[in-house]
Amino acid sequence: MSTEFTLTPGANNLTITVIYDNNRNSEELEIAWGFSALITGNKKTILFDTGGDGSLLLSNMKKLAIEPNDIDAVVLSHIHADHTGGLADFLQKNLNVTVFMPESFPKKLKENIQQYGAKTVEVKESLMICENVYSTGQLGRLIKEQSLIIRTKAGLIIITGCAHPGIVKMLTAAKDLMKSLDPARDGNDVLLVMGGFHLEWATKGKIEKIISSFKQTGVRYIAPCHCAGEKARSLFEKHFGKNYINIGAGKEIAAANLQ
Residues near Zn ion (CB under 5 A) are 80, 82, 162, 227
Q: How far is the CB of 74 from Zn ion (least distance, A)?
A: 16
Residue 80 has φ and ψ, to the nearest 5°, of: -55, 145
Q: How far is the CB of 228 from Zn ion (least distance, A)?
A: 10
Pairing verdict, β 221-225 and 190-196: parallel
Q: How far is the CB of 126 from Zn ion (least distance, A)?
A: 20
Using alpha carbons, select from 13, 142, 15, 34 the residue that is nearest to residue 84: 34
Q: How far is the CB of 99 from Zn ion (least distance, A)?
A: 18
**21 burial level (CB within 10 Å; 0-12, 13-18, 19+):** buried
- Closest to Zn ion by CB, 14 or 162: 162
Q: How far is the CB of 226 from Zn ion (least distance, A)?
A: 6
37 bridge partner residues: 18, 48
- Closest to Zn ion by CB, 150 or 227: 227
74 bridge partner residues: 47, 99
129/106 Cα distance (integer angstroms) = 22
Using alpha carbons, select from 136, 91, 78 the residue that is nearest to residue 118: 91
- Closest to Zn ion by CB, 65 or 142: 142
- Closest to Zn ion by CB, 135 or 188: 135
- Closest to Zn ion by CB, 88 or 254: 88
